[in-house]
Amino acid sequence: MNKEISAEGFSIISDVYSNQEIEQILAVINEVDTTKDTFRKSADLFAIRQFLKEIPAVYGLVFNSKLKSIIQSTFGEDYFVVKSIYFDKPEQSNWFVSYHQDLTISVDKKVELANFGPWTVKQNQFAVQPPIEILKNNYTIRIHLDDTDENNGALKIIPKSHLKEIYRPETIDWNFESETVCKIKKGGIMIMKPLLLHSSSRTTNNTKRRVIHIEFSNIELPKEIKWVERI
């Protein structure tokens, strides 16, 4: 799996969660107050930013023994959570995301730092593009709470694209690149590198796609800023 992630930029692992564990996670999510600034709700998308901080009761359910074992064997013992988001793409959602890399990290404030920038603010949360070495070192885990395929917005990725570091979508040469649809069953996970080019299509089969997105790092930031979600 480590070789696959290094070479291809991603790996898919089935049956990390049982159906009962998924239902327990969803039950906790369904009980929360959705009026906070970190919650985004529209006809096309429901999202919870700083997911693990906003809903601490879900932490022990998300980090079950299987996931903790995967993290330790794949990342090592020194990685920590730096970002978490819950996405719910409803049955009739027209939400889509074009090809992109995840080039920013979430931090506690904006300060002028060499090699950090540009900056953005989204729902009172600061984000910045850090030095490339931080992005190359990070991992993302996507936990699938529903069966996901090309009909309900499964991720489409370009294998090996993470190896090209900053890779602008407008420069993709489809004569040389290929696209892979990441079909993942409920209870499975996808591990990916943030620099992997990925996109998501609209839902066409009236089924949900609920995903928990968690980013990990083992790099300490300059003393002037902090990871806003470090766990």
pLDDT per residue over 12-67, tens digit each? 999 999 999 999 999 999 988 777 777 776 655 688 999 999 999 999 999 999 99
- Look up residue 184 and give its DSSP letter: B
Residue 69 contacts by C-beta under 8 Å, 6 or more apart in sequence?
A: none
Provide the whole-model pTM: 0.94
For residues 188 and 31, what is the distance between their CA atoms, to the nearest angstrom? 24
pLDDT at site 91: 66
pLDDT digits (tens, 9 = 90+) for 174-217: 999 999 999 999 999 999 999 999 999 888 888 889 999 999 99
Residue 187's closest CA among 167, 212, 159?
Answer: 212
Going from N- to C-terminal start, the domains of the chain cover 2-217
Query: Is the domain defined by 2-217 classed in CATH 3.40.50.10540?
Result: no
How do strand 105-107 and strand 119-122 relate by DSSP bridges?
unpaired
pLDDT at site 43: 57
